[in-house]
């Protein structure tokens, strides 16, 4: 008979197996529980600060608040460089699922140029985490709408309202004010990256560049809490930016416009100074350009057109144009010769219409040979020499003085050196001497070169601003000031810095100025044409400088010479004579002679002297 089934079971063995399984399960559960507890402990205790920081970075971000750029106003408070509101589209890479695709989408919708994309890349390389990087500046309403309508579908895209520079008078003031442009990687090598974080523009040339540290201001910041979509929920902390300081200029907008109109289409420059302070009342360079083109980035086509133009509109002729000063330096040489005893007011020189160096067959001709066939008079004294711009008189004087003495006499008037005006790009011109030629060219000085220098030709070069400064010395009987465009920065006066005085005896000054008055007010004066219906006295001096050399026996025929090879016309003046309120220097490029420059000066003088003296 078979044994019962229960007798075959090993109960003890089964119990042992079940117990071991239970223990293993309990150990596994305990281990998993321990791991879970440790993980909770690690997240909540050990790594709490790290995860809290990461959470805050997703929830809280710091936004830089760029400062408002200081404005520029004229002497009467009229805005010359202002700030206008505009929209900027930026990208926060951390909030985008695929930044590359997002940027491509924006490039298509906004028609971004290669230059804009390159600028975006440059900004991205120096950004902070969760910082919006501008990709499109200066949007109009239509361009903004193409993005704003789908903004909820473009995570990572932000739209900000900012202020950008605006020049309401465009070409009339471009060379004075300069312009701002986008901050480039090259700019940041000179600028403080922290101070310019969030700033899109910086001064590039002119006053905008020269006064950049004061115009820019100091950025602020704010900590904001955002939701998962990046929308700001509240501001947690805020430090307001410090706005840039405003500049008030000596410049008068009405006078500037009058000077622009007076030049018209003529290439050249006008500089008008206040002899009491050295303040720049007007400074025009023509042709010009519109500063607004550069604010948001000028196109390659527009820049190529400006840069390639034969008229060089980007050149600030007032401070960068260097021209032979011609006969405008004759009053300056006269004062130097009087002070050193080379002449007296009554010294008379024979004038056959030409001058010869001893032992030299070459004749240095006076300009009257072309129009009169003879000299100015049988003998010429100082007053007549200035009034009619007698070259023969100054050929003889230059020969007796010598180039080094002449350079010594002209240097205190500011020739051959920068004036120190508060703008960028100023050139120094050339005041030649035997030492200068040896250093610059490695050659000796020749007597014939002295003769040319005596009438402001040859190697001698000056800017219109230098000539205006020299005229200021004449107007003030030896006193002058460093020219300044800016009068005040905030509440601080920056202009009116006095230059070393030039010793001028009153009798010498009277003798020279008498000739300069005759330039305009005598019937034979070289600028007599501008004296019609004038109600005040002008002390002036005309000048003509050659662009191309004319052979010794050849006659200058303006009609036979191309327009760009014609003589330059120059004119310096101050008025009223007894109590000067304004000095002016004008250059009319290829104008043929001083007759192209003196009427421009007359219009500027008339406009300013019509102003009330207390303005």
Catalytic residue ranges: 327
> C-alpha distances in angstroms, 157 versus 117, 133, 162?
15, 10, 16
User: Residues near 213 by Cβ (< 8 Å), separated by ≥ 6?
Assistant: none
User: Residues near 70 by Cβ (< 8 Å), separated by ≥ 6?
Assistant: 211, 214, 215, 216, 217, 243, 244, 245, 246, 247
Taking Cα atoms as reference points, which of 386, 392, 593 lies closest to residue 474? 386
Q: E strands within 231-327? A: 232-239, 247-249, 268-273, 280-286
What is the rounded CA–CA span in Å between residue 164 and residue 71?
11
Q: What is the largest CA-CA distance in the chain?
A: 172
- Parallel/antiparallel/unpaired status of strands 354-355 and 201-205: unpaired
What residues pair up with 283 in beta bridges, in sequence order? 271
Give the DSSP letter of residue 112.
-
Are the CB atoms for 102 and 157 separated by under 8 Å? Answer: yes
What is the rounded CA–CA span in Å between residue 150 and residue 83?
29
Task: Retrieve residue 523's tokens.
Answer: 């019937």
Task: Retrieve residue 561's tokens.
Answer: 């010479």
Taking Cα atoms as reference points, which of 140, 138, 165 lies closest to residue 84? 165
User: Residues near 1 by Cβ (< 8 Å), separated by ≥ 6?
Assistant: none
What is the rounded CA–CA span in Å between residue 36 and residue 421?
75
Q: Which helix (H) or strand (E) holds 335?
A: helix 330-339
CA triple 448-450-454, angle to 5 deg: 120
Task: For the beta carbon of residue 91, count every other beta carbon within 10 angstroms.
Answer: 25
Taking Cα atoms as reference points, which of 406, 577, 571, 346 lies closest to residue 477? 577
What is the rounded CA–CA span in Å between residue 393 and residue 391?
5
């Amino acid at each position: 008979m078979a044994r019962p089934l229960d007798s075959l079971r090993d109960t003890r063995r089964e119990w042992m197996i079940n117990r071991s399984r239970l223990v293993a399960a309990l150990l596994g559960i305990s281990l998993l529980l321990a791991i879970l507890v440790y993980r909770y402990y690690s997240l909540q205790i050990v790594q709490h600060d790290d995860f809290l920081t990461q959470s805050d970075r997703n929830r809280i971000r710091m936004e830089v608040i760029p400062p408002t750029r200081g404005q520029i106003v004229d002497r009467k408070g009229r805005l010359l460089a202002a700030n206008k509101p505009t929209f900027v589209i930026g990208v926060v890479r951390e909030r985008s699922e695929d930044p590359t695709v997002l940027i491509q989408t924006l490039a298509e919708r906004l028609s971004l140029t290669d230059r804009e994309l390159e600028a975006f890349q440059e900004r991205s390389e120096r950004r902070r985490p969760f910082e919006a990087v501008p990709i499109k500046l200066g949007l109009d309403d239509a361009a903004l709408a193409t993005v704003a309508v789908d903004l909820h579908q473009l995570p990572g895209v932000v739209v900000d309202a900012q202020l950008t520079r605006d020049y309401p008078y465009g070409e009339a003031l471009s060379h004075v004010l300069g312009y701002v442009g986008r901050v480039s990687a090259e700019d940041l090598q000179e600028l403080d990256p922290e101070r310019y974080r969030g700033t899109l523009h910086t001064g590039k040339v002119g006053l905008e560049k020269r006064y950049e540290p004061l115009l820019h201001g100091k950025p602020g910041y704010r900590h904001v809490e955002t939701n998962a979509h990046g929308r700001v929920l509240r501001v947690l902390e805020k430090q307001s930016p410090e706005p840039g300081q405003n500049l008030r200029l000596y410049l008068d907008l009405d006078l500037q416009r009058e000077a622009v109109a007076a030049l018209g289409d003529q290439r050249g420059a006008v500089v008008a100074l206040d002899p009491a302070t050295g303040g720049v009342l007007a400074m025009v360079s023509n042709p010009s350009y519109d500063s607004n083109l550069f604010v948001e980035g000028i196109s390659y086509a527009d820049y190529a057109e400006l840069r390639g133009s034969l008229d060089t509109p980007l050149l600030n002729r007032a401070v960068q144009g260097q021209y032979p000063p011609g006969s405008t330096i004759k009053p300056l040489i006269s004062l130097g010769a009087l002070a050193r005893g080379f002449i007296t007011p009554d010294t008379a020189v024979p004038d056959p219409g030409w001058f010869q160096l001893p032992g030299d067959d070459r004749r240095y001709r006076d300009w009257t040979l072309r129009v009169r066939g003879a000299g100015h008079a049988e003998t010429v004294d100082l007053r007549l020499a200035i009034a009619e711009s007698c070259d023969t008189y100054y050929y003889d004087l230059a020969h007796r003085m010598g180039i080094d003495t002449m350079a010594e006499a002209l240097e205190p008037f500011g020739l051959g050196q920068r004036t120190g005006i508060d703008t960028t790009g100023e050139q120094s011109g050339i005041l030649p001497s035997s030492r200068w030629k040896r250093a610059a060219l490695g050659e000796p000085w020749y007597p014939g070169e002295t003769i040319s220098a005596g009438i402001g030709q040859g190697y001698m070069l000056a800017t219109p601003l230098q000539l205006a400064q020299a005229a200021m010395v004449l107007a003030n009987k030896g006193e002058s000031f460093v020219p300044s465009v800016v009068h005040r920065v905030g509440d601080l006066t920056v202009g009116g810095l006095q230059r070393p005085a030039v010793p001028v005896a009153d009798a010498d000054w009277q003798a020279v100025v008498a000739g300069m008055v005759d330039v305009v007010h005598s019937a034979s004066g070289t600028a007599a044409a501008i004296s019609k219906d004038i109600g005040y006295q002008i002390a002036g001096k005309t000048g003509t400088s050659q662009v191309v050399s004319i052979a010794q026996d050849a006659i200058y025929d303006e009609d036979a010479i191309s327009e760009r090879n014609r003589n330059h016309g120059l004119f310096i003046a101050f008025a009223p004579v007894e109590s000067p309120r304004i000095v002016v220097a004008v250059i009319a490029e290829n104008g043929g002679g001083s007759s192209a420059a003196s009427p421009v000066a007359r219009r500027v003088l008339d406009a300013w002297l019509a102003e009330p003296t207390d303005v």
